[in-house]
Amino acid sequence: MLRSLIAGIGMYVPEKVITNQQLTQYMDTSDEWIQERTGIKERRYADRTKETTTTMGVEASKIAIERAGITPNDIDFIIFATLSPDYYFPGCGVLLQRAMQMKEIGALDVRNQCSGFIYALSIADQFIKTGMYKNILVVGSEKHSFGLDMSTRGRHVSVIFGDGAGAVVLQPTEVDNRGILSTHLHSDGADAEALAMYNPGTHANHWKEGLADFDESVIADMFVSKEMVSKEQFYPFMDGQAVFKKAVVKFPEVIMEALNKNNSAPADLKLLVPHQANLRISQFVQKKLRLRDDQVYNNIQRYGNTTAASIPIALCEAWQEGKVEKGDLVCLAAFGSGFTWASALLKW
């Protein structure tokens, strides 16, 4: 049976480290508050002009491609997951294709926020299993630092997020019992506004009143209006407690869905790599599934929440540290804005 195997994995984080203490220059917060509620000690911020979501994705991809033992010319499809694209359109996939001088292959952007990488992996998995592509590059990258509210007003959101990128190359394998065993994707748009960046957008307050201010009499003023800008209505919004409450239910649920599908139990897992949303969420999930410390990988302490990049960054570090070896059962799981949630179970 044809399965998709992670043939190469890479990550890239910007050099600039921003500690919790440094954030106190901009907002009323403290190292103690941030560590206690989120587990985060520091995060990375991209160089403001020299690095973009795409360039970080390129750096991670170069490593993944090299480790897969191929060249950019061998890649036959790109899937790029991000919520912080260089341009509103076109997507980062084509910018990466250009930057890496790849062939005129297909490039798809995925906009599923924190679940983006697993959604992208699942799409790639389907293309591999049908035999359509043989070397798919799956990238997750974020430059959150481009647009966080660094004032005290935005502190509960801004302290959480960081920049970085991760990438994998997926290839087909016929080796028994290796590769992606199954993926599981879910969504519930009931709370779409609970974790969102509303503007710029075409919504014109259709779904919810008061998200954007604009002059209705001015044609074409709704996407980015002067009122929106003057009232600073362009920062991400997060109802932290709503996110927390739903995440601690959906993470264990979607992990168990993957394990049950493959007649496995939490005890069989070598490693769970959860999306690095908040250390408290990961700890809750670990406890609920009765996993040992060595069965769960967390690095949010050093990078914050890097959304679509967090799983490939964490998986890459875990692999580099020898925590994932050939044949190990690994579960990837994510929850985030949408809400969307997802899991993937694989044999490394």
* Residue 262 bears catalytic tag: no
Q: Which of 22, 29, 264, 283 binds ligand COA (CB under 6 A)?
A: 29
User: Closer CB to ligand COA, residue 106 or residue 240?
Assistant: 240
Among 55, 286, 295, 305, binds ligand COA (CB under 6 A): 305
Any contact of residue 234 with ligand COA (CB under 6 A)? no
**Distance between CA atoms of 113 and 4, rounded to whole angstroms?**
23
Catalytic (active site) residue 305: yes
- If one counts every other C-beta atom within 10 angstroms of the C-beta of residue 280, the result is 16
Rounded to 10 degrees, what is the CA torsion of 299, 303, 305, 309?
-90
Q: Across the chain, where does the E strand assignment appear? A: 3-12, 17-19, 42-44, 77-81, 106-110, 136-142, 164-173, 179-187, 195-196, 237-238, 271-274, 329-336, 340-347
Rule CB under 6 A: is residue 240 a binding residue for ligand COA? yes
Check residue 296 and report its DSSP letter.
B
> Could you give the string, one character per residue 39-78, with x where binding to ligand COA holds by CB under 6 A and - elsewhere?
----------------------------------------
Per-residue buried b or exposed e for 234-253, using 16+ beta carbons within 10 Å of the residue's own CB: bbbbbeeeebeebbbebbbb
Q: Which 147-206 positions form the footprint of ligand COA (CB under 6 A)? A: 155-156, 159-160
Q: How far is the CB of 324 from ligand COA (least distance, A)?
A: 23
Question: What one-character DSSP code corresponds to residue 78?
Answer: E
Question: Is residue 281 a contact point for ligand COA (CB under 6 A)?
Answer: yes
Q: Which residues contact ligand COA by CB under 6 A?
A: 29, 33-34, 37-38, 114, 155-156, 159-160, 238, 240-241, 243-244, 277-278, 281, 305, 336
Active site positions, annotated: 114, 275, 305
